[in-house]
Amino acid sequence: MSDTLTIILYSSAAGFPIIIGGLISSLLQEKNIKHKNEINHFVTAFGGGALLSAIAFVLVPRAMIDLSMLEMTLIFLSGTLCFMGLDILSNKIGGSMAQVLSMMMDFIPETLALGASFAVDKNFGLLIAIFIGLQNLPEGFNSYLELNAKLSKNKTLLLMFALSFVGIGAALGGEFLLSDHGKIVDAIMLFSGGGILYLIFQDIAPSSKMKKKWLPTTGASIGFLVGMIGEKLLN
């Protein structure tokens, strides 16, 4: 199997959890489940833990080795400030497009890095795909809740299905344009890491807490643990 075909398969597998999460969320909301709110908050916390593990094990380590102190500092802070700006913009836009923008802010840079790094280290490319899939499942779950408040169920799921395949184009762009530019790939991942860290503490962590409920927040630790296991298995 060629590298290009493998990248298409990996990026598809990384994006497909968006629609899977949406379908699970739609089914859950239609059922009269006793602990529905606790499950929703647990999934939110799990997504935060998975994102944090992606920062710790994928997005930051190589950049810390390959980039200078000044480069590392400027790029990481630029990612934080850029995502903050996009967050402000999406808040002003409002509606369904705000949630779409938020979901794509981390998905596209990571799949760019997936395609670019695959030619150098296939295991690392696989690791990125696994982490993207891990975070896209809870993101798809939560995105359905927000999108469905503005759109019908069918339109919401159709939009999420389309978004599941956005990563293919980004991954192929990374393969053909960035595979020979390791420092640029490191910079993209570090930039994304700075932005995702902002999003975790701005949006995800506050939303995962419930008054007088303690179990849902353990999802953050479980999400991070799953990332640890993935990193351990592939290295």
Query: What is the pTM for the complete model shown?
Result: 0.80
pLDDT in tens, the chain (235 residues): 678 898 999 999 999 999 999 999 898 887 777 677 788 788 888 888 888 888 888 888 888 888 999 999 999 999 999 988 888 887 777 655 666 776 777 788 888 888 888 767 788 888 888 888 888 888 888 888 888 888 889 999 999 999 999 999 999 998 888 878 888 888 988 998 898 888 888 877 776 666 777 777 787 788 788 777 877 776 6
Give DSSP secondary structure letters for the chain.
--HHHHHHHHHHHHHTHHHHHHHHHHHHHHS--TTHHHHHHHHHHHHHHHHHHHIIIIISHHHHHHS-HHHHHHHHHHHHHHHHHHHHHHHHH-HHHHHHHHHHHHHHHHHHHHHHHHTT-HHHHHHHHHHHHHHHHHHHHHHHHHHTTTS-HHHHHHHHHHHTTHHHHHHHHHHHHHTT-HHHHHHHHHHHHHHHHHHIIIIIHHHH-BTTB-TTTHHHHHHHHHHHHHHHHH-
What's the pLDDT score for residue 207? 67
What's the pLDDT score for residue 125? 82
What's the pLDDT score for residue 191? 92
When divided into structural domains, the chain yields a total of: 1
Domain that holds residue 118: 3-29+37-234
